[in-house]
Structure 1
Amino acid sequence: MLTVVEVPQWQGSSSPTAPRLAEGAARLAAMLPAAGRHVRVETGATLAETAERVRRALPGDGFVVTVGGDCGVELEPVTAALRRHGDRLHVAWFDAHGDMNTPETSPSGAFHGMILRTLQGEGPADLLRSPTLRPGRIALAGTRALDPAEADHVRRTGIGGLDTIAPDAVVYVHVDLDVLDGITSVGYPEPGGLSADALVEAVAALAARHEIAGLGITEYAPAAPHDEEMLRRLVPELVRLCAASRPWQIERRAARAWPATHVEERGGWLLRHSPGLSRRRSNSALPLPGAAPSVPAAEAFYAARAVPTTVQVSPLEQLGELDALLAARGYASQAATLVLTATAQDVIAARPGGAGRVADRARWAELLEAVTGDTSGMETIDRIQPEAMLLARDTAGLALAVSEDGWTGLFCMATHPDHRRKGVARSVLGEAARWSWERGASRLYLQVEEDNLPARALYESQGFTLSHRYHYRLRA
């Protein structure tokens, strides 16, 4: 679920136009999707009091967009992302300014010019947080106005640009609107910034490569109608790109965790085909992020293989136009599915004494046959490249766990009919969560068809919540 946290804090700014930031926060929030949850945080008597209120307002899961207000509103959202993702978190700081002064070096004494340094552990004592952000996990973008002490800190610590973000990083995106060239509705405009299109292109590239852990948009002090018009186009697009990143990163991992025989990227699609295998996931086109998928290109791919064109419309929340286009072309909707996620810690806590066991690889086919009566998936399982393990409770139930880059996908969840309602699935889930945690993968995902109410109730009782939806569109 998308949550918009509106923080009308202006007291951290030294600009003469700072009081306008409260109105700016409200206008930014109004530009965002109405389907999400909107939380407005009232400012406190001090910045520390406001920060504490923001901390309490942040949800435990889902995608959060924080709108300010001055850049100081990012203190708690970035810290929360650090606590969730640890050292894998990188921060992409789109800002004309470095925001890396200390109380001793700041020319103005304004906190919005210290926020990024404070996140590194050097700032006002009442605003320091733990854990701290390492300089090597910061990427500056569009920065062109550094104070001398900030420039020295950047040189000493080796802070770089977007190209320094590690391939497996989770990224928090901060956008101070003064990063834009020509905008006047900010406290300290600087010439030579990014165009709106260049900003969208940079964020789209990040969202295609990384899970975006959160997004902050700050420093809008409404002054010019043309700025408002531009932001009404820009802000929803930034949110769309960033909010879609986690579903896409899950789907990308799921595609590798359950690999098709033939896979290629073409025409805005990840095209998959597995001759002789009937599973939809192995024989469907998945839209690539940020692309405009060509339906004729997908149809040509599957026509060449003499099979019906099937599209996995995922995430459904982001692909309404594509879904409507396919429906208009006669594609029928099938298999409405929910993708659920949980932390390994929550699943372990829900079933601390699970009796599932890691199965010897030589027994996987035997166990699948005993529990499900179907071993057709073994051909696919044998092709899995990421680390995989079958967790089983004797021949009563099992799940296949596939771990990659901090996530573990759970597939083939099954309980033998003679052992249902005996806690078998919970035991297997608990063992899978422990196996995942031991490999440094703190998060789990799985798919469940929307009308499978008993399975949904089980997963929700173990700490799983909704990430996104998808369904398939099939043209006979």
Structure 2
Amino acid sequence: MTPADVGKRVSVRRVADAPDTGAKFTDTVGVLTSWDDGVLSITPKSGDSVRIAEASLVAGKVVPAAPARRRGPAASFEELTRVAARAWQPVESEPLGDWRLRAAGGFTRRANSVLPLGDPGLPLGEALRRVRQWYEERGLPAYVQTGTGADGAQERLCADLEQHGWLREVSAELRIAALAPVGDLDADVSAVRLSRTADDAWLSRYQRFDTPGPHVLEVLGSGPSVWFASVAGDSGDAAGGVPAAIGRCVVDGRWAGFMAVEVGPEHRRRGLATAVMAALARKALDEGASAAWLQVETDNEGARALYDGMGFATHHRYHHFRSA
């Protein structure tokens, strides 16, 4: 391994920083993003850059670009990133080279961040200044969405953003699975109501805003084929009161994306999230989809356990970096 391997996936062993713990060495696997002035920078799939003094290295080698996945449909990083972006379409967007600047009145970071697939057509520092200006003009914070942990992902861009002072605020996993097993889940879907629109009752459970403006409905309704699911609460019909559970699904070719799956605290542990997922999956199967994806924040242990049981496996992680 040499400085010429910058940009490649590497595995390095170094002398442990805290030898009093009993460990003599520490191993790091990730993309080598820089090697300057006797210091290496490696970005693993978590997105956290690790700086290593060259003098502490014991061994290092280039390893395959990404380990083979054992579960889930075949998919590239770019394909899934574009599919996910189509499920949260902005109200306004503008190209910056191959990048896409997106805004939707601040509703969801996914619709209010830069999608940096490709070359911005400018030196990075200049491109980031243009990004900040564009969002400042709209009264919004500037975010850049990146991905790590898959072949063709953006570890080098993550490291470059950090060097320019951008801060990683949120990280999540993009998970994938075969769709049919989700539709076959053992769940009572008879109480799940499906609709093409998010009505007031659905929005009352989806508490991501104070008062939903037209931009919220525009983003939620965006996508090639959108379905909303709700389960009535104990007091009556879901359309007239706060639902016990809700969900959203966007069908896009072979992909069905699941999002906004929420269950009221008083209704949890009754299988309602599973019922919502199964009902939406069956509708997506009817429309010809065969693969499923969803996004879950890395610290949401309950949701991660639920999706583990449904067969979802992590394809890559994505992050939102905010201008400092």
Q: Are 1:336 and 1:472, in contact at CA under 8 Å, matched by a contact in 2?
A: yes
- Give the Cα separation in 2 of the matches to 1:302 and 1:269: 14
Counterpart among 70, 79, 90 of residue 249 in structure 1? 79
Q: What is the TM-score with the length of structure 1 in the denominator?
A: 0.47
Deviation at 1:413, TM superposition (A): 1.5
Deviation at 1:358, TM superposition (A): 3.7
Larger RCO: 1 or 2 (CA < 8 Å, sep 6+): 2
Which residue is 1:283 aligned to? 112
Alignment pair present for 1:33 and 2:44: no
Q: Are 1:358 and 1:389, in contact at CA under 8 Å, matched by a contact in 2?
A: no
Which residue is 2:312 aligned to? 464
Letter in 2 for 1:280: R
- Structure having the larger proportion of residues in strand: 2
- Structure having the larger proportion of residues in helix: 1
Q: Secondary structure of the equivalent of 1:345?
A: helix
Instruction: For residues 371-403 of structure 1, give each alpha carbon's deviation from its aligned partner in whole angstroms, at most 9, with x where no partner exists.
Output: 537463323224x14111101222111111111
Runs of 4+ in 1 over 4 A off after TM superposition: 289-294
Counterpart among 154, 158, 161 of residue 326 in structure 1? 161
Counterpart among 303, 313, 325 of residue 146 in structure 2? 313
Q: Are 2:120 and 2:127, in contact at CA under 8 Å, matched by a contact in 1?
A: no
Task: Give unpaired runs (5+ residues) of structure 2.
Answer: 1-60, 233-242
Q: Are 1:285 and 1:298, in contact at CA under 8 Å, matched by a contact in 2?
A: no
Q: Secondary structure of the equivalent of 2:76?
A: helix
Counterpart among 382, 391, 396 of residue 229 in structure 2? 391
- Give the Cα separation in 2 of the matches to 1:393 and 1:333: 36
Q: Are 1:257 and 1:385, in contact at CA under 8 Å, matched by a contact in 2?
A: yes
Which residue is 1:341 aligned to? 176
Letter in 1 for 2:268: R
Counterpart among 85, 90, 98 of residue 268 in structure 1? 98
Q: Are 2:206 and 2:260, in contact at CA under 8 Å, matched by a contact in 1?
A: no
Which residue is 2:240 aligned to? none
Task: Give unpaired runs (5+ residues) of structure 1.
Answer: 1-29, 38-57, 63-212, 214-244
- Cα 1:252/1:367, change in 2 over 3 Å: same
- Give the Cα separation in 2 of the matches to 1:445 and 1:396: 23
Which residue is 2:131 aligned to? 301
Deviation at 1:291, TM superposition (A): 7.2
Which residue is 1:164 aligned to? none
Counterpart among 194, 202, 206 of residue 359 in structure 1? 194
- Give the Cα separation in 1 of the matches to 2:174 and 2:135: 29
Map of 1:159-170 to 2, 5 A cutoff?
Answer: none
Map of 1:67-146 to 2, 5 A cutoff?
Answer: none
Q: Secondary structure of the equivalent of 1:333?
A: strand
Instruction: For residues 251-270 of structure 1, give each alpha carbon's deviation from its aligned partner in whole angstroms, at most 9, with x where no partner exists.
Output: 21222221111122223312
Q: RMSD value over aligned CA atoms?
A: 2.8
Which residue is 1:350 aligned to? 185
Q: What is the TM-score with the length of structure 2 in the denominator?
A: 0.68
Instruction: For residues 294-335 of structure 1, give each alpha carbon's deviation from its aligned partner in whole angstroms, at most 9, with x where no partner exists.
Output: 532243133134133211112454211111111111111111
Q: Secondary structure of the equivalent of 2:115?
A: strand
Identity %: 29
Q: Are 2:72 and 2:178, in contact at CA under 8 Å, matched by a contact in 1?
A: no
- Cα 1:294/1:389, change in 2 over 3 Å: farther
Counterpart among 377, 380, 387 of residue 219 in structure 2? 380
